[in-house]
Structure 1
Amino acid sequence: MEIVLTLNWSSAYRSVRGLVLHLAARWREAGLELVELDVSGPGWADKLREILNTGKVRFVFSTAGVGTNLAMDGQNLWTKLNLPFYSLLMDHPAYFAANHRNQGKTVVLGYMFRDHALYQASDVRAENIVTSIDYGIPNLPVKPAPALAAQDKPKIIFAKTGNAPAALEQMWRGAPMLEAILHDALDELDFARKGVANVAQFHPLLNKVAAAHKIELQPFSHLSRFLIVQLDDYIRRLKSTAIAKAILPFEVDVFGTAWEHIDKTGARATFHGPVDYARLEAEFPNATASITMNPNIELSAHDRFFTALGAGSMPISDRNQYCETTFPELLPYMFDFTKGSIEAAVEHVVNKPADALELARATRTRTRDAHGVEQAADAILQTVQAARFLGAGPRAEQNFFVP
């Protein structure tokens, strides 16, 4: 049996490993065995050598760029072995830039969100195959609706790390010129009034604003990346803070750290702190709804949106183009960040929990064939096959084409 080798790392609540296991369930159906290697553990290099020496590895998979730059005899290991490596990247390329620049020629740069892949194609332009997936709805256990409907009150969960917007503003004061550029950009975004922001707006907006300060930004330069990350992180902090404040009057279970900036006096919401991903995933089948927050994207959705549907729970999510067009029946449970919008979406569940459950399960049934996690897993298999084909080098039929 051939192997999919995953190089693991320690992520928040081990959530990334949970996502990989959903993909691997499909790969097992294709006759592939999942072998996990913790590259932070003792003796990992020897274990890697043993696995590779079996000759059974179909491809290597990791997240956040882990292991892409391993070398042998001064050459990228995966290029030398002509072994496809699928690097699934959760972040915008402005974060952890080295993970997004040119990699070994058999490395695929696969983005969780197409918005980020499009920035890669326009500004970074790595020579690798660049692609993206919609994570899709996993096939999780679905608890019978009558059992959930019989609960005294609907169980609503919100899993998210917090962080205070004011902490970033304090940091910016160390460079007044950059602080001015960022505040000018924020004024033009006008997030407080519009209630939406998309990362695709940030770079052209920053180019315009910086030019007014006689700063000419270069594509994917240190300064460009810094400014994009500041806007992106700041807007995310505004969004998560707005959600946390809006749900305080509701009985919501909040899982995650860095909520110290929220005044919880008199709150009905309960802040539990961090939990392991396995515990969190076990909460989904018992939940009527799960509040989720997309990154600043328009062309896909956060994995927890899909996970909620997989468990038959209603995702209460900030709206974007993808969610609105792919799941239009869920619009009453979507929100933006204008006044009262979050509360209205939560109240739809609180007031009629049975209706929310029924609609979530009907949506799961309608969409899972076309938007299941299996489609993402299959796309990854097809892309790594292409990477192996391209990595093999010139062929007799066209020896004039040299990579």
Structure 2
Amino acid sequence: MDNILLIFLNDLQRIDEFNKIINEFDRREYKMYLYDNIRSEDFDFSQLPDIVEYYKKQHNNVNKIVILSNLRDLTFAWYRCYNSIVDDFVYFIDEEGNNYFDINDRHFDFYYNLYEFNYVEKETIEGKIYLNKEDEKVLPIYYEQKYFDFFSEIDLFNKIEKKSLNKKYTYSGFEYCFNSNKGDRWENIEIGKINKRIVFFKGQSQYDVLRVGTDYRAKFYKQLGFEVYILDLLEPNVVSKINTDIINKKCDFIYSSNCIGIDIKLSDGRNLYDTLDIPFLGTLGDHPVNQLSRIINSPQKTLFTCIDEENIEYFKKYFPSKKIILSNCSGYPAANYAEKKFNEREIDVLFAGSLIDPVEIKKSWDKLDEKFRLIINYLSDLAIKEKFLINIDDEISKFLLKHNIINDDFGCRALIHSQVERYVRVYKRYELVKKIGESDLNIVCLGNVEEYNKLNKSGKLIIKSKVDYKSLLEMMNNSKMVLNITGHLYNGVTERVLSAMINGAVAVTEKDRFTNKYFKDGENIILYDLDTVIDKIKYYQKNINELEKIALNGQREAMNKYDYRISICTFIRHMKSL
């Protein structure tokens, strides 16, 4: 009797480890068939019964049919809706969590509930999903051990005789039918809302970016079926609302951008969330050094997220007991996002950001101790001299060691770090505006008008007062190019770059570690250094067709990998491990 292995892959990365699994099937003489580059736009997952039937007809006598895939959501969804036509499912946990379902699909909320096993206890499930390694974060929200095992435990010869079963799911007023092509026996499963309540904190943020981002996230979680409540810490009667909506109501976890509200204490000094045993998800939008107090005073069950790989090492060094994960920065579409012809976008080049003369930053250091000024000046000059931003914390250690300076004061290191980081960001932005202000480019600049006017030597810059974040997104949606700097990140990308791309503009940004590795200059992004930025902008203004191709490619790349909804789909599973 023949055994069949059907392989469904997309962007396989751990090739050697995957081949070891393939060798196990090969040793047992499985007939193997590969479907590669599986994507929702060109592969219909409901074809599985036809695929299975096709390959069964190619063999006279079939014993087992096994599916192997590195697509988590597809494997878990198939395990439920087509459970009776496949004997075993193997999910290969790859370097990155590859997924199949399109987050923009109008039925994504159903697929999410399906592959996260919501209401799975209501249906007939036989057999298991076998994993190549232990990794809690890949397990579904509603995990039960009986559905999973390790690949080492799979029986590649003997099979469970499954009864033919078609399935019909009812969710949010829709019916989803999955015909297994085996008999007329149907099982009806009604999937209700997800029985989890999330409280989002909102507070002060520059340009309202964190507040708007919180609204976007809360709305999406609600669409997925979670109960959601937003607590605005800037509104009156906050204490009363904390009592009503956190202390006296079920709360599965708190979600807070930049860890706002993480250090709320009771009158006796105890941390509110430790007392209530509520997990806290705190996202860090900039370096941890800027949120030290919140990190130090965080509750025991806290999960931090960061957008820069260097931040992970920083936590390991200074906060080894704290839990942090990397979650690449995300972008947001304009609330009134509109598809439009590229040549009809009214703004050629857009740049936004407050402008400060770096000389003023250096003047502020005069109040510091002389040795601090020495270190900050040295590291600031070093950071500017280097092509990519230095690892500031490592350089502080090197400097102290070289000059035999003994200083174990964590606060002093943090002060030095934050000042260097701020100066580099301010310096790069100032030098960029000075450069474009001397050119003959008509660039729309949003910020403090008086400072911009000082650098507008050509008189060509179109300078406007800063706008709120929602308005900025709308302007991106009406721009051909969005100019940007990434001066404060060691190995990460800013929201500004990704939001520009998602809104259909071309991101024109610095060449750095992250953009050089994950994007392609001239294909889905435009990368510059200070010597090339003017010429590059002028070139693409004259070659609008090339620019439009970059915009389309960039938008596709950003929406597939950096849409704000993608990362937050995984946070729920991470919170289970706290």
> Does residue 215 of the first structure (1) align with residue 408 of the second (2)?
no
Tell me the distance in 1 between the aligned counterparts of 2:572 and 2:360: 42
Secondary structure of 2:230's match?
strand
Residue type at the aligned position of 1:149: N
Q: Deviations over 1:155-204 (max 9, x none)?
A: 22112122221112222233333222233334444x24x44323x2x222
- Superimposed CA distance per residue, residues 98-155 of structure 1 (whole angstroms, 9 cap, x where no aligned partner): 1222521112222233322321222x21523212211234455654452x3046x752
Say which SS state the counterpart of residue 42 (structure 1) adopts. coil
Conserved 8 A contact 1:4-1:35: yes
Q: Out of 78, 81, 89, which is 2:273 matched to? A: 78
Distance across 1 between alignment mates of 2:555 and 2:455: 36
Cα RMSD (Å): 2.5
Equivalent pairs, count: 377
One of 370, 374, 378 as aligned partner of 2:561: 370
Letter in 1 for 2:308: F
- Pairing partner for 2:282 from 62, 87, 100: 87
Alignment of 1:191-340 (within 5 A): 191-192=384-385, 194-198=386-390, 200=391, 202-218=392-408, 221-248=410-437, 249=439, 250-257=441-448, 260=451, 262-330=454-522, 333-337=526-530, 340=531
Q: 1:3 aligns with which of 160, 181, 197?
A: 197
SS in 1 for 2:577: helix
SS where residue 87 of structure 1 aligns? strand
Instruction: Tell me the equivalent position of 1:116.
Output: 311
Q: Answer yes or no: is 1:19 the counterpart of 2:213.
A: yes
2:233 is equivalent to residue 42 of structure 1: no
Out of 347, 354, 359, the position equivalent to 2:550 is 359
Match of 1:172 in 2: 365
* Preserved contact between residue 312 and residue 357 of structure 1 (Cα < 8 Å): no
Cα deviation for residue 71 of structure 1 reads 2.4
Kindly state the Cα deviation for residue 90 of structure 1 after the two structures are TM-superposed.
1.7
2:105 equivalent to 1:105:
no
Equivalence for 2:375: 181
- Name the SS for the 2:477 alignment partner: helix
Answer with 5-14 or 254-263: which moved more.
254-263
- 8 Å Cα contact 2:428/2:487 also seen in 1: no
Partner-residue secondary structure (3-state), 1:29:
helix
1:75 is paired with a residue whose SS is coil
The CA deviation at 1:25 is 4.1
Contiguous gaps of at least 5 residues in structure 1: 388-403
Match of 1:400 in 2: none
| Distance across 2 between alignment mates of 1:143 and 1:355 | 21
Worse overlay, 236-245 or 13-22: 13-22
User: 1:43, CA displacement in angstroms?
Assistant: 0.4
Change (3 A) 1:30 1:70: same
Equivalent in 148, 157, 160 of residue 353 of structure 2: 160
Task: Report the residue type matching 1:60 in the other structure.
Answer: I
- 2:303–2:575 Cα contact (<8 Å) kept: yes
Please say which of residues 361-370 and 78-87 is displaced more in the overlay. Answer: 361-370
Render the CA deviation track for 1:195-233: whole Å, top value 9, x for unaligned.
4323x2x22222222344432243x71221111112111
Residue pair 2:281, 2:575 contacting (<8 A) in 1 also:
yes
1:283 Cα deviation from its structure 2 partner: 0.8
Percent of aligned positions that are identical: 15
Cα separation, 1, equivalents of 2:529 and 2:330: 22
Shift of the 357–3 alpha-carbon distance from structure 1 to 2, 3 Å rule, reads farther
Does 2:572 align with 1:381? Answer: yes
Contact 1:292–1:318 under 8 Å retained in 2: yes
Deviation above 6 Å: which 4+ runs of structure 1? none
Aligned to 1:94, the other structure's residue is in SS state helix
How far is 1:31 from its partner? 0.8
C-alpha separation between the residues in 2 aligned to 1:257 and 1:290? 18
Return closer, same or farther for 1:215/1:16 CA change in 2, 3 Å cut-off.
same
Tell me the TM-score normalized by structure 1: 0.84
C-alpha deviation, 1:258, in angstroms? 7.9
- CA pair 102-39 structure 1, distance change in 2 beyond 3 A: closer
Q: Secondary structure at the match of 2:296?
A: coil
Cα deviation per residue 1:269-302 (whole Å; 9 max; x = unaligned)? Answer: 1221221111111111111111122243243210
Report which stretch shifted further, 112-121 or 163-172.
112-121
Equivalent AA in structure 1 for residue 484 of structure 2: T
Equivalent position SS for 1:65: coil
Counterpart for residue 324 of structure 2: 130
CA distance in 2, matches of 1:135, 1:125: 22
